[in-house]
A = this chain, B = another copy of it.
Amino acid sequence: MKSDTAAVAEGDRMSTRDLLLTAASELMRKRDTLNVPISEIAAEAGVNSALVKYYFGNKNGLMLALLERDLGASITQLSALVNMDMSPSKKMRYHLSGLVRMYFRCPYLQRLLIKTMRDESAEIARDIAEKYLAPISHAYHAMISEGVAAGEFKPIDSRLFYFIAIGAADQIFSARFVLKYVHGIDEIDDELRRAYVDTTITLIMDGLLAKS
């Protein structure tokens, strides 16, 4: 049985864990890099860096928990979207908009996913694929099949469409230095994000829609 103190400590533990995740996310976003030392993450969260080891084992554990935090909710939403009573075109448009917004919030996300699947063991890679990638792949397959059946979409391989859509939505965030060094734009602000959402949706949707 837990004492009151232990229960309070548990409450604290939850919020310290979230603080660390938020700090890691913020620093990776601000500095446009995946390489942020544990000590600086802890400092940003205002906690002792030993707590990273306590909550996550090590930095890899922290990164896996961040993937879960960032991707978990989006994947639940995507599955819900697929089952909604809405036209396939509307669903896809809604999804693409959410995708760009997700990368705007977490511009490191696609790089973190790629790095984690490359650097961790095959077992962890398989686990990530099963938890996050397979559900996305199924959702794309369902949305595209439905759109093709409704005569709204061209017949297109949903596996290939997945790469095209993810690549298009992510690239401005993965290659932010192009904005900086070629166009003199230091930050992706709300206006640029909206323009990117609009342009990406127009291009991909007009590409996907069956010709009337």
The answer to whether A163 and B172 have CB atoms under 8 Å apart is yes
Separation in Å of the A148 CB from the closest CB of chain B? Answer: 14
Separation in Å of the A147 CB from the closest CB of chain B? Answer: 13
The answer to whether B133 and A200 have CB atoms under 8 Å apart is no
Stretch of A66-74, A78-86, A203-211 lying at the B interface: A203-211
Set B156, B164, B172, B202: member contacting A171, Cβ < 8 A: B164
Set B181, B183, B205: member contacting A159, Cβ < 8 A: B183
- A contact residues, total (Cβ < 8 Å): 52
The answer to whether B33 and A177 have CB atoms under 8 Å apart is no
Set B129, B202, B208, B211: member contacting A178, Cβ < 8 A: B129
Separation in Å of the A123 CB from the closest CB of chain B? Answer: 11
Set B110, B133, B170, B207: member contacting A207, Cβ < 8 A: B207
